[in-house]
Chains A and B, each alone.
Chain A
Amino acid sequence: MSDHTTERDWPLWEVFVRSRRGLNHQHVGSLHAPDAAMALRNARDVYTRRSEGVSLWVVPAAAIVASSPDEKDSFFDPAADKAYRHPTFYEIPAEVQHL
């Protein structure tokens, strides 16, 4: 990538939308914007124009620390055979929602 391109390209932002009160913000995608205020506005236009949300977060993609695909085995495989860690031995009352 030439210096020229780097200078022109806007930084990448990750977008999180809360679809309604009481739910968590969910990652919905990413976009380019020159700064945080414009990222929020772009997110509004790109990801909530069909009434998808009541709240938006934008996070600089560069600020996200991600697990490495190389560490996938040591990170995640040991959890695969520990059935006792899952709350599957309880009866869930019918009234409990969002579970």
Chain B
Amino acid sequence: MLCRDLMAAIKPQKTIREIEQLQKEPTEENWKKALKIIQKGKYYYIYYPSALKGKMSLSSAYAIIYDKSEKPIFKVPILKKTKNSIEGATSYLVGLDINRGMIK
């Protein structure tokens, strides 16, 4: 996995309102609104920064969405927030392929 600093350096090519909303508040409603935009991508790659030693931080984890030329377009969370809990949300990326070009 690439380090956090490198991830911060990958800037999205354009800011999309639905994606911004999703990044701020990953509710089911915002995931559904963002779905059409996400499906325009071709690839994804998920990053899991570590919060504490031995633990994974799901709230800090994210997926970068790439276009068909493997250029990064935007990033999305991988969680969905419900009223009382959180759920994993990688199923919203169905239709995209993992970008194995990002594996080091």
- Bound pair (A, B): no
B interface residue numbers (CB < 8 A to A): none
